[in-house]
Amino acid sequence: MDTIDTAAVSRTVRELKSRIHTVFVGKERAVHNLLIGFLSGLHVLIEDIPGLGKTTLAMTLARASGLDFGRIQFTPDILPGDILGMTVWSAEKREFVFKEGAIMHQFVLADEINRASARTQSSLLEAMQERTVTVDGRTVSLPEPFFVVATQNPSSFTGTFLLPESQTDRFGVSLSIGYPASGEEVTILKRFKTDNPIDDVVPVVSGEEVMRMRVAARLVRTDSRIDQLLVAIAENTRKSPKIRLGMSPRATQHLMLASQTQALFEGRDYVIPEDVLAVVHGVLAHRLVLSAEAKVGNQNVHNVIDEVVRKTPLPTGI
């Protein structure tokens, strides 16, 4: 593919949003960021308190995407083998055979990921980065397209294990949902009163179409000035006294790909600075670690990101 049908992609995005909103009420920004991750191939982390619809949002997209779906409920006693698979003895074949784990699906919902131990959390690292799993020296490729949506409860909640930085950096996009407005909550009550509307969601795309759109996103042009903007943002996060751990080179790549996908959503085959600004919070909020100075000043990560962006000159004439 060397040309991009931006109009077709825009139509598909609108159809996906329409299908999602037959179930999930409101929260346009959360839905948009989820689709940025899905159609760019960047894994998504959803953090919020229980009961706000994190799982509902992910499962609705899974139904609308038409992909093979698997849900993993993370608990303190779940083991890496339950996720990745394991080698077991087959009495019938009289040999050891590989039994696939729960991750062998195109669309994986890792529900309440931070309820599992660090050992189990780390079992996802290779899968999310390399699209493979290795068990007992055997490497198995994951199905394509492959996409992980993980939900987590706030770290202050009972029974949670903090995700290590190496894990959060594998997620390209993060989002929170928040409480619904009163009118939205009334709609939720009516919509779920008699049945589950997820059951009525029909697929909008196929796996092949998702793969084509992911290729199209990477073909979106980035001017050299956009590349310099991305690097400047990364460097400013590393220099800021309010940030203890700034952007990694992987984070810069994720910001570029999310910006390309944002441009594609807008019907363009080239990135402008506004595309970067539209996705910068979603790409950075979960991976920047604030310094003690910022915490003492009662600043949150979104305030600090805004400050970094303000200090970064934007290119003009693109």
Neighbours of 316 (CB within 10 A): 7
Q: How far is CA 99 from CA 15, 41, 69, 96, in A?
A: 37, 26, 18, 9
- Beta strands (DSSP E) in 121-257 are 132-135, 138-141, 147-152, 173-175, 243-245
Domain 220-310: top CATH class = mainly alpha
| 6-75+104-128+142-201 classified as CATH 3.40.50.300 | yes
pLDDT at residue 195, rounded to an integer = 86
Q: Residue 203 corresponds to which amino acid?
A: P
- Residue with structure tokens 């939900």? 151
For 188-232, the pLDDT digits (tens) are 999 998 888 999 999 999 999 999 999 999 999 999 999 999 999
pLDDT at residue 295 in the model: 81
pTM above 0.85, yes or no: yes
pLDDT, residue 2, reads: 59
Count of helices and strands (H, E) across the chain: 14, 11
Is-same-fold flag (6-75+104-128+142-201; 220-310)? no
Give the pLDDT of residue 317: 80
Which two structure tokens, joined as six digits, stand for 116? 């599992």
- DSSP tag of 200: G
Q: What does the chain come to in residues?
A: 318
Question: According to the model, what pLDDT value does residue 117 have?
Answer: 83
* pLDDT recorded at residue 173: 96
pLDDT score for 314: 92
Give the residues across from 175 on adjacent strands.
46
Tokens of 191: 């919509």
Contact 106, 113 (CB under 8 A): no
Low-confidence ranges of the chain (pLDDT < 70): 1-3, 156, 158
Return all residues near 150 (Cβ < 8 A) that are at least 6 apart: 43, 44, 45, 46, 109, 110, 111, 113, 171
Determine contact, residues 285/302, Cβ cutoff 8 Å: yes
Domain boundaries defined on the chain: 6-75+104-128+142-201, 220-310
- Distance from C-alpha of 163 to C-alpha of 83, rounded to nearest angstrom: 17
pLDDT at 261: 96
